[in-house]
């Protein structure tokens, strides 16, 4: 079995502080035996306005955020799903919301740019990511090997969770095995998280017969936002193995490939798919 950890944060506008808190919890996860950790969406920055993302955006392979993740991966021997960070794109008025995966040797093993951009307005709360974000181009899955066990990992971010076709496309990539683990770093609002977060995560786990690791922002932020938290690890039967409701900390659980095989053998729904 492989121990995995979803790190929950309550990030603020100071980059150095956020990176230090992320490293603190990665150290703690490694000390507790985790070989793969996941950070939340915008672990590095929850600024006072979306324009802050432009200020702190990095070029691929350059900058203090990526350097900090590479150092942590090497020094702690971890696979790191590094939540998201703002990444420069061709449009100087926008950035990509990018999730990079780091291998234990510090190399960048993969990158996914958030495809679905969140917009919400209930008359009291309103938010539109499209003002400063440029959508990604394609789904991304890759092989990782925490604890020496090779896993097929599917990457997604926050609002992507509401689009099951993204996960089905990744799970049924021609010539590749179904996903074993789905990652969903997020900063769900308190309102939408309370209504739908756990429901959607468990649904994605059950319908894809895969583990889900969902590292979240969880609390009241300096910029006035309140995020839902409830970082989870869910097994392929939909059972919640670990949950941290609010505040900083870890949701730790064991990923068991025998359990994964058992679920798929007893209920071979992936083989029964018609479309």
Could you give the residue numbers annotated as active site?
Answer: 41, 114, 158
d(CA 230, CA 220): 13
Taking residue 65's Cβ as centre, other Cβ atoms within 10 Å add up to 24
d(CA 2, CA 147): 6
Q: Where are the alpha helices (DSSP H) in 172-215?
A: 190-208
Pick from 41, 46, 43, 45: nearest CA to 26: 43
The packing angle between helices 164-171 and 190-208, to 10°, is: 30
CA 244, distance to chain mean position in Å, is 15
- Helix (H) and strand (E) counts for the chain? 6, 15
The packing angle between helices 64-76 and 15-31, to 10°, is: 10
Beta bridge partners of 2: 255
What tokens does 182 get?
Answer: 């789905």
Judged on CB neighbours under 10 Å (0-12, 13-18, 19+), 214 is buried
Pick from 72, 131, 64, 68: nearest CA to 104: 72
């Amino acid at each position: 079995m492989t121990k995995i950890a979803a790190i929950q944060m309550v990030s603020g506008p100071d980059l150095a502080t956020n990176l230090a808190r992320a490293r603190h919890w990665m150290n703690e996860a490694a000390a507790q035996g985790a070989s793969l950790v996941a950070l939340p969406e915008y672990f590095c920055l929850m600024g006072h306005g979306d324009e802050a993302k432009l200020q702190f955006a990095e070029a691929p392979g350059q900058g203090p955020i990526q350097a900090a993740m590479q150092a942590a991966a090497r020094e702690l021997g971890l696979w790191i799903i590094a939540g998201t960070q703002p990444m420069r794109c061709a449009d100087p008025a926008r950035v990509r919301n990018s999730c990079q995966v780091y291998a234990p040797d510090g190399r960048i093993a993969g990158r996914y740019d958030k495809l679905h951009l969140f917009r919400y307005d209930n008359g009291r709360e309103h938010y539109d990511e499209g003002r400063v974000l440029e959508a990604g181009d394609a789904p991304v899955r890759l092989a990782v090997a925490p604890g020496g066990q090779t896993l097929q990992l599917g990457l997604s971010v926050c609002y992507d969770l509401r689009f099951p076709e993204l996960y089905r496309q990744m799970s049924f990539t021609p010539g590749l095995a179904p996903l074993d683990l789905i990652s969903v770093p997020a900063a769900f609002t308190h309102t939408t998280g309370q209504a739908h977060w756990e429901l959607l995560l468990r649904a994605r786990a059950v319908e894809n017969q895969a583990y889900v690791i969902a590292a979240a922002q969880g609390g009241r932020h300096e910029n006035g936002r309140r995020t839902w938290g409830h970082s989870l690890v869910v097994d392929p039967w939909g059972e919640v193995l670990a949950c941290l409701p609010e505040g900083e900390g870890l949701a730790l659980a064991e990923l068991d490939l025998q359990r994964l095989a058992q679920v798929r053998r007893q209920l071979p729904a992936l083989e029964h798919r018609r479309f």
